[in-house]
Amino acid sequence: MAINQDKDNAIERLLHEVQDAEYQSYIHDSNQLVVAISGLNNISKTALLNRERIVRHFPYTIGRYSPSKGFIYKEADLIINERSPYRISRQHLSIERRGDQIILVDKNSKFGSLVNNTLLGKNVGGEEEVTLKYGQNEIILGGQTSPYVFHMKVIKIDNIGISYDDVKLGDHFVSVEELYTRLCHIASEILTSSNNDTNNRIKRVLDFITGIVTYPESIDMIYYYSAHPDTFEDLIVAHSVNVAIYAIKMAFGLSYSKDETIIIGIAALLHDIGMYDIPENIINKKKVISNKEYNVMKKHTEIGYNKLLEVKDEYRIIPKVAFEHHERADGSGYPKGLRGISDISELIGMVDFFEAVTHSRPQRGPVTPHEGVKMLLGMKHEVFSIDMIKAFFNVFSVFPVYSVVRLNSGEIGQVVKGNINWPLRPFIRILFKNDGQPIEKKKEIDLLDDSNLFITKDISDRIFIDNYFKLY
């Protein structure tokens, strides 16, 4: 199965099947084994974003992110967001499949790994390994006193449902969840760096965004994952990464050049850097923010502008976006109440607004994607220009991914992909038949291919969506 076909076909395969025929035959072989990793305490659960992770490709490496090593796509498969004093090594442990056995290999880590009460590694002079037993195994990364406690369950592949959520990067596969988490870890290190050298920070963000843009077929998958209202523990990081992903997706849809798309992505990732100078008790406040606190928060635009001011000429739009992304077409925005701002500032300001209302905040819950779209519609051209709103709908659809809708056939489905320039005719995964019964066999419909079918109603609600949000 060719990987390097046109973009649309590549994205469609990313949503429905593993891209490589050899790998696809592996995951359909019922004699093969997978490893299900789950956290046993809050710290290890957070490392997995509170979800069970299924390992399907081997070797699979677990380690800590190191900003001085490697490139965005070449870190460990599972990155542990550890804080000093470090107990997890950069390449701490690997999971390998050898015939009918799953082998755990400690990569000579400093504090070792405790596997079913057997200590591996701890600077013994080389790698140590142990065979995992079928069923449940308990692993503590970093030795007995480490807080990173996991279950690794060895199971045959026909005993579980496999979600086809892998993105192919070069010659290997990365699950979209792992890729998204990796993006957040690296973005966190860039955004919170104590090094105030603006051009050095820009260079690091340039490498980061170029890495994403280099794999355009992965954008829809990452966007679909980032649409979940609760994705990463650091609110500012998650918001910045999501806005960058949304802005890159929109830039692709509007046919910006690769170089222009990279600049847009850099500006989007850094647009809220000034928020790190706002007191945490305001950012994380769970009650309604007072007018006084809101006025303090609004200062992040000017702070961000000043942080990014010393950039090279080709990057002048980046501090400008940090300053302008809350300005609005009718002059109602801040910090200056400007009416005429750059197209890129308005583009990033719009996806910034949409991302914010469709994701959880300490003071409120999220609205559904379609509700977020209706909020944009309600603003008409007064807050955002009508041309920018039309561009947003053409790229993201009136029913964005993650929306749950009813078709005129009576069936209920979830939007998994939009169709560029056809905002009312997205790609639907059917969840329920017209009699209300769950569908037994996977069924997906591209509304562009069937003129007799159309969406009659958005029926999204938070509980429903949370139950049916899945990656396929």
| Residue type, position 251, single letter | A
The DSSP code for 447 is G
CA-derived radius of gyration, the chain:
23
Mean pLDDT of 392-412: 86
Confidence label for 243 from pLDDT (cuts 50, 70 and 90): very high
Tell which residue, 52, 46, 50, 78, has the closest CA to residue 65.
Answer: 78
Whether residue 470 has pLDDT greater than 50: no
User: pLDDT band for position 189 (50/70/90)?
Assistant: confident
DSSP letters, 71-132, are -TTSS-SEEE---SSP-S-TT-EEEEEETTEEEEEE-S-SS-EEETTEEE-SSSSS-EEEEP
Is residue 462 predicted with pLDDT exceeding 60? no
Domains of the chain: 18-163 (2.60.200.20), 174-365 (1.10.3210.10), 404-468 (no CATH)
Residue 218 has pLDDT above 80, yes or no: no
Mean pLDDT of 455-472: 61
pLDDT per position as a tens digit, 85-135:
788 888 899 999 888 889 999 988 888 899 999 888 876 667 888 999 888
Rounded distance, CA 80 to CA 78, Å?
7
Dihedral over alpha carbons 292, 321, 198, 180 (to 10 degrees): 90
Which of the four pLDDT bands, split at 50, 70 and 90, describes residue 8? very low
- Cα 342 to Cα 336: distance, rounded to the nearest angstrom: 14
Percent of the chain exceeding pLDDT 70 equals 82
Res 471 pLDDT > 70:
no
The rounded distance, in Å, linking the Cα atoms of 52 and 163 is 12
Residue range 15-22: mean pLDDT, rounded: 32
pLDDT band, very low/low/confident/very high, at 161 (cuts 50, 70, 90): very low
Task: Compute the mean pLDDT over every residue in the chain, rounded to the nearest whole number.
Answer: 81
- Of 231 and 189, the structure prediction assigns the larger pLDDT to 189
pLDDT(16) > 80: no
Q: What is the pLDDT of residue 171?
A: 59
Residue 30: pLDDT above 50?
no
Is-above-0.85 flag for pTM? no
Give yes or no for residue 20 having a pLDDT over 60.
no
User: Confidence class of residue 190 from pLDDT cuts 50, 70 and 90?
Assistant: confident
- Contact (Cβ atoms closer than 8 angstroms) between residue 167 and residue 176: yes
For residue 371, is pLDDT > 90?
A: no
Q: What pLDDT sits at residue 163?
A: 46
What percentage of the chain reaches a pLDDT higher than 90? 29
Give the pLDDT mean for 458-471: 57
- Cβ-contact 318, 305 below 8 angstroms: no
400-425 average pLDDT score: 86
Local confidence band at 23 (pLDDT 50, 70, 90 cut-offs): very low
Q: How confident is the model at residue 329 (pLDDT cuts 50, 70, 90)?
A: confident
The 10s digit of each residue's pLDDT in 264-298 is 999 999 999 999 999 989 988 888 889 999 999 99
pLDDT in tens, 296-321: 999 999 999 999 988 888 899 999 99
Alpha carbon of 68 to those of 71, 85, 190: distances in Å?
Answer: 9, 17, 11
In this structure, of 5-9, 236-240, 376-380, the range with the lowest mean pLDDT score is 5-9
CA dihedral 320, 325, 326, 331 (to 10 degrees): 70
pLDDT band at 249 (very low <50, low <70, confident <90, very high): very high
